[in-house]
Structure 1
Amino acid sequence: MPGFEYRAQDRKGRPCKGVQEADSPRHARQLLREKGLLPSHVGAAKHLRVKGAVFALGTKLAPGELALLTLQLSTLIQAGLPLEESLRAVAAQSEKNRVSALLAAVRARVMEGHALATALGGFPRAFPELFRATIAAGERSGHLGHVLEQLAVYTEARQASRQRIQLALVYPMILMCASLAIVGFLLGYVVPDVVKIFVDSGQPLPPLTRGMILISDGVRSHGVIMLGVLSVLVLLGRWALVQPRLRLRWHALVLRLPLLGGVLRAMEAARFASTLAILGKSAVPLVDALEIAAAVIGNLTIRHRMHDVARSVREGGTLTQGLEQGGDIPPMMLHMIASGERAGELDRLLARAAEQQEKTLAARIALVVSLFEPVMLVLMGGVVLLIVMAILLPILSLNQLVS
């Protein structure tokens, strides 16, 4: 709840001042009169307002948090509660202070007379452009509660899809880290102690064993330096990806990679179709919806081509023609979109196309993960085999000398 600075007189005519929490200046005056004070000035408390605004401005909501508060707000609005009362109830319901402070800041802007979409626009880190544009369309159409419900379903679906991908990658990542740890342990501690016996014997060592000794010595002597160089390379890579030109080249290169490029293309296509569907259902104009859906795409190469699609539609072309020229949408999705345009049911068929693409994407991710696991096992087995052979070859040489 916002605070208001006041100057007033008490019942004995003595001047006093302070800060009163209230929904509005009028409400603050009413509360002061109930306390027996006669206010002469009531204004927004600047230090409290700035502190709360700065705190809320840096808040970023997780997809699950955004879906939850959207669903709660939709339920309250559809039940007939005014918007400001709904915002207050959702803020009070939240168990996290940062979410409560964010909603209180949004409610304060609504109480000042701003529309909900405009109030949310002051906090772009918490409420993305897609979210704000959809709510703005819902406010214009007078069906804000229904639009909020659709947004909640959309956000939950996006979060569920992201979690499925993350869970699919957990086991391969654990396997890769375990493989690196085991190989590092063998090279750093096991190989030197075992091979030392053959080095002291003075017998010539096989080339594989000498190479393994060099690698082992390098790991033990310069392991910290290697980690430092690797960290610097990672930082340089992150810096390079921040540069627009280098990032664009990297995104174009990733799309040409086997398997991974197809998965990323399918992922972006599903995201584009589902975003365009929710915007269309919310009565957002098609050209504006295309611009917003393009901004949601993560790959810069595909994003630029989708902006070209929006420009083509703005100039009078059809959506299907623009997407065919881009070449990023699978043929099945293109046929469904073309059917939707001809039948006047683009939103419904876009949603079905997005659902179908999500299923295809899940199958591709499962295929990539299923291939990654045996490849990692084979590579790890090959490295361990080389280490074992480096140890066994000197033993076989000694046995031959003895015999």
Structure 2
Amino acid sequence: MAAYQYQAVDAQGRKKKGVVDGESARAVRVQLRSQGLTPLVIEAASSAKVATEQKQGKRVRRIKSADLTLLTRQLATLIAAALPVEEALRAVAKQTNKNNVKGLLFELRSQVAQGYSLSESMSGFPRVFDDLYRAMVAAGERTGNLDLVLNRLADYTEQRQQIRMKTLQAMIYPAVLVVVSVAVIVILLSAVVPQIIAQFVHMGQELPLSTRILIILSDGIRNNGWWMALLIVVVIMAVRSALKKEAIRMRWHRQSLSLPVMGRVISELQTARFARTLSILTASAVPLVEAMQIASQVLSNLYARSKLIFASESVRKGNPLLSTFSETGLFSPMLLQMIASGEQTGELEQMLERAADFQDREFSYRVSIALAIFEPVLIVTMAAIVLFIVMAIIQPILALNNMIG
């Protein structure tokens, strides 16, 4: 059977579209009519079409992390129940009601039915199944522990999603605080301050320095506000364009690891991801050097990635794992000691997993500390700006009262 995409209308004239599998387009047409649908378009959802779209530069839609976790967990459960991979894919496809996930699973099933392995079938969808995912599936197929590997993958995906959500939730309040504070200051300078300051200007009296500065800022925002906003947008776009160049992005990523507080946070996040990925790969019977190369590819920091790729080559040449990791300068002393202990006792996978848990806790702790420092600093800064505005308005009033007195 193969996967087919269809467009049809029901008895009420409403359009329907989705993905089903069938022996042929004619069999799919009969199947749709038996469901009360009138087929309009039926076409094969072939991997050749996906490959053509990739060569033409079209983006292949990703699926959500939650959907990937769910289908991975379901596949693991069905395969553990001794169900063939082809039937497991079909069962999970029928279970989901999301067309993009259903089409993906039907296409994988079609490839498996043609004799390809599951990992080979997944290679046609690199935006859904990354190098780590495919390497682990291939290792599970070689060792006969595919269900265990898929369960580890599901746990790994869930953990990454939880870390991402915690980080986003922690950043919501500071981001809202910054936006509200900037908006309040802009409104004060562009709408409120000019009306108050105009009264003093008409009197012709000499204004204090703070008031004159406030007038300059207010006039600048009113007269050039849109140009300033456009300049900010242009700068942001220029920075993003520059960071697309690998050499510039490499330098930026290297400098980001040297930042006072955030540098350590970024480093610990990268090493935690590397340690957990390496733990999963080695536990899935992937050779250590190959596992290190794959694990390094999941890092978002190019400088850290290059250092760890070089470390994998060093290990390939026979150098000890501990000294190789120490030379990168990325790992904390605690993590290095745990790796050394695992290497000596032969329990490297367990120690790497514990090290990853430790690094995740350190990451959460440092993010909390960074936000705890950032929030009061931001509040004090905004309060100082508002105080300056208030004092710049009050000083001419006090001066006028002294003149009248």
Same fold (TM over 0.5): yes
Match of residue 257 from structure 2: 255
| 1:114-171: CA deviation from partner (whole Å, max 9, x where unpaired) | 1101110110001111101000000000110111011101111111111111111111
Q: Which residue of 2 aligns with 1:369?
A: 371
Query: Any runs of at least 4 consecutive aligned residues in structure 1 with deviations exceeding 2 A, and if so which?
Result: 1-4, 27-32, 45-57
Report what 1:9 is aligned to. Answer: none
1:2 partnered with 2:2: yes
Give, as a single letter, the amino acid of the residue that structure 2 aligns with 1:336: M
Q: Residues 99-178 of structure 1 correspond to what in structure 2 (within 5 A)?
A: 99-178=101-180
Native 8 Å contact 1:52 1:105 kept in 2: no
Q: Is 1:399 equivalent to 2:393 in the alignment?
A: no
* CA drift at 1:76: 1.0
Match of 2:356 among 332, 354, 357: 354
Supply the distance in 2 between the matched residues of 1:116 and 1:165 (Cα, whole angstroms): 33
Secondary structure of 2:340's counterpart equals helix
Q: CA deviation at 1:213?
A: 1.0
TM-score by length of 1: 0.88
Cα distance, 1:61 vs structure 2: 2.2
Identity %: 43
Change (3 A) 1:198 1:335: same
The partner residue of 1:296 within 284, 295, 298 is 298
- Structure 1 gaps, min length 5: 5-20, 36-44
The two structures, once aligned, show a CA RMSD in angstroms of: 2.3
The residue identity in structure 1 corresponding to 2:185 is V
Distance in 2 between the 1:162 and 1:22 partners? 35
Aligned match of 1:319: 321
Note the C-alpha offset of 1:210: 1.1
- Greater shift in the superposed pair: 367-376 or 96-105: 96-105
CA deviation profile, 1:199-251 (whole Å, cap 9, x unmatched): 11111111111111111111111111111111110000000111111111111
Aligned pair in 2 of structure 1 residues 97, 54: CA closer, same or farther (>3 Å)?
farther
Which residue identity is paired with 2:272? A
Q: Does the C-alpha gap of structure 1 residues 65 and 216 become closer, same or farther in structure 2, counting only changes over 3 Å?
A: same
Q: CA-to-partner distance for each residue in 1:279-329, whole Å, 9 max, x for gaps?
A: 111111100100011111111111111011100110011211110111111
CA contact (8 A) 2:261 2:370 kept: yes
> How many residues are matched?
374
What is the letter of the counterpart of residue 404 of structure 2? Answer: V
User: 2:75 — aligned with what?
Assistant: 73
Deviations 1:7-50 (CA, angstroms, capped at 9, x unpaired): xxxxxxxxxxxxxx865xxx559979x99xxxxxxxxx986535
How many angstroms apart in 2 are the aligned matches of 1:305 and 1:327? 9
Q: 1:84 aligns with which of 86, 96, 107?
A: 86
Residue 62 of structure 1 and its aligned partner are, at CA, apart by: 2.3
CA contact (8 A) 2:45 2:103 kept: no
The range that moved more, 80-89 or 342-351, is 80-89
Deviations 1:304-363 (A, max 9, x none): 110111001100112111101111111111111111111111001100111111111111
User: Take 2:24 and 2:216, find their aligned partners in 1: how far apart are those partners?
Assistant: 78
Distance in 2 (CA, whole Å) between partners of 1:53 and 1:253 is: 38
Distance 1:183 1:31 in 2: 66
The structure with the largest alpha-carbon Rg is 1
Q: Which residue of 2 aligns with 1:16?
A: none
Letter in 1 for 2:269: M
Q: Which residue does the alignment assign to 2:95?
A: 93
Q: In the alignment, is the contact (CA less than 8 A) between 1:336 and 1:353 conserved in 2?
A: yes
Cα gap change, 1:294 to 1:3, in 2 (>3 Å): closer
The counterpart of 2:212, out of the listed 207, 210, 213, is: 210
1:239 aligns with 2:241: yes
Alpha carbons of 1:59 and 1:359: their partners in 2 closer, same or farther (altered >3 Å)?
Answer: same
